Amino acid sequence: MFEEYCVEIKPKPKYKKKYCVVQDCTKGARQFSDKCSAHGGGPRCTQPGCIKGAQGTSGKCKAHGGGLRCNESSCKSSAAAYSDKCITHGGGLRCSVPNCNNGAKGFTEKCIKHGGGPRCIYPNCKAGAYGSTDKCKLHGGGPRCTQSGCTTAARTPSDKCVAHGGGLRCVYPGCKSGARVPSDKCKIHGEKKFCSKSGCTKIALGAKNVCKAHGGGARCPNCIDWIDSRCASPKHDGYCATCFKYLFPNDERSKNVSTHSKEFLVRNKINENFDGFIHDRPLYTGNCDCSHRRRVDHRKLIGNTILAIETDEFGHRSYDKTDEEIRYDDLYMIHSGKWIFIRFNPDSNVSKIDIDDKLDKLIETMEICIEKIENEENTELLEIIKLFC
């Protein structure tokens, strides 16, 4: 009833992989081409000036946005193979070394740091080769900075090194440093806390979230209640250097504490020419329960005006400008009469004028101010005269 017959099944022809025709290249040739993507095979990136191969149907290479992208928020890198994230955010194969979270490099099981991927051919160099070159960045691998005379490696996605503006920049206002991947800030602004005082850009210390100038960090226990308290010094048993010298004058460490020699030169010169000037004492009155003890280097009350001389050694460059303004307000609250401040810089290395000539000019200016006060010719509540500042 049934007719028997045989069917011959022929095996399918074995596909022969086509390799890149460039000598010593073992990569597969792209479709409709006799070269791999690295040597010009397949469609190229449509970005002007780019010669890299396009990824998929995007028309662009990975560097210019082609192929799958990392799904991490605000990340613009391409996704690593068989994942939806870039290597930085955990995509692709990871290094096999215990506790290492870096991505494995190339066809190896380790990251560049632990020996994965091609190594630099420079003698005795153990660093990984960069990109498609056979050397590390230090020995000339990868693209170099286009700045004239610079041999440093260029920082993607630009053609310049970090020093000349390459790579991502820190987003902190006024900062020109390079950003640290994967953040958008440099190391300092990405890891440090900054002073919470308005307009201050210094680093905060301690739990107060303010810088040293605004009271941050450990304070000297002797002057901690003063508004102009100073930082504690480990070298002086937790006191500031000034208080330590005052409290323990016979201690060997007190001999190395600065004695403000220039300030004493000014004091001696003033005392030779005038009477009644008070040197370096807190300013307060018996009629006020003041919460601060502001000091003035040299002062004298003449009528309803205080003539004050401040010895600005080093131009008070380390002083906080905002605190200086608050200082004027505090002093005015104690003495609500008129003020004349003479800010005197004794440093000869700033104006190249001899200290003796500067002191003579200071005395001359003080005489003019005293005559002006006695004749009631000073009309401003606060007058600031800067000498050599």
Look at residue 79 in the predicted model and tell me its pLDDT.
82
Token representation of residue 251? 């201690």
**Each residue of 271-284: pLDDT tens digit?**
889 998 988 776 65
Look at residue 69 in the predicted model and tell me its pLDDT.
83
> Would the pLDDT of 136 be above 50?
yes
> Would the pLDDT of 158 be above 80?
no
- Residue 261 or 93, more confident: 93
Look at residue 318 in the predicted model and tell me its pLDDT.
43
> Would the pLDDT of 135 be above 50?
yes
Q: How many CA atoms lie within 13 A of 14 on its CB side?
A: 2
CA distance 236 to 242: 10
Taking CA atoms, 66 is separated from 51, 72, 154, in Å, by 13, 16, 21
CA distance 227 to 294: 8
> Would the pLDDT of 168 be above 50?
yes
List 386's β-bridge partners, or say none: 343
CA distance 133 to 152: 15
Question: Across residues 131-136, what is the average pLDDT?
Answer: 79
> pLDDT band at 229, cuts 50/70/90?
low
Sign of CA dihedral 92, 96, 99, 102: negative
Question: Across residues 200-223, what is the average pLDDT?
Answer: 75
Judged on CB neighbours under 10 Å (0-12, 13-18, 19+), 90 is middle
**Each residue of 36-82: pLDDT tens digit?**
877 888 888 888 888 888 887 778 887 788 888 888 888 878 887 77
Chain-wide mean pLDDT for the chain?
A: 78
Residue carrying the six token digits 């200071």: 362
List 344's β-bridge partners, or say none: 311, 387
Look at residue 16 in the predicted model and tell me its pLDDT.
67
Taking CA atoms, 76 is separated from 45, 64, 152, 166, in Å, by 17, 10, 25, 17
How much of the chain, in percent, has pLDDT values that exceed 90?
Answer: 7
Look at residue 345 in the predicted model and tell me its pLDDT.
86
Look at residue 330 in the predicted model and tell me its pLDDT.
63
CA distance 96 to 80: 17
Q: How many CB atoms lie within 10 A of CB 104?
A: 22
Residue carrying the six token digits 């000019």: 361
CA distance 87 to 7: 53
- Are the CB atoms for 77 and 63 separated by under 8 Å? no
**What domains can you pick out in the chain, each with its CATH number?**
261-387 (3.40.1350)
Judged on CB neighbours under 10 Å (0-12, 13-18, 19+), 42 is middle
Listed in sequence order, the residues at least 6 apart from 261 whose beta carbon sits closer than 8 Å to its beta carbon are: none
> pLDDT band at 363, cuts 50/70/90?
very high
Strands (E) located in the chain: 278-282, 295-302, 305-311, 338-344, 382-387
CA distance 363 to 355: 12
- Are the CB atoms for 78 and 70 separated by under 8 Å? yes
**Each residue of 299-322: pLDDT tens digit?**
898 988 989 998 876 544 444 555
Look at residue 291 in the predicted model and tell me its pLDDT.
47
Listed in sequence order, the residues at least 6 apart from 15 whose beta carbon sits closer than 8 Å to its beta carbon are: none
Look at residue 274 in the predicted model and tell me its pLDDT.
93
Question: Across residues 366-376, what is the average pLDDT?
Answer: 94
Question: Across residues 286-293, what is the average pLDDT?
Answer: 50
Taking CA atoms, 257 is separated from 4, 234, 245, 248, in Å, by 115, 14, 7, 11
The reply to whether omega before 143 is within 30° of 0 (cis) is no
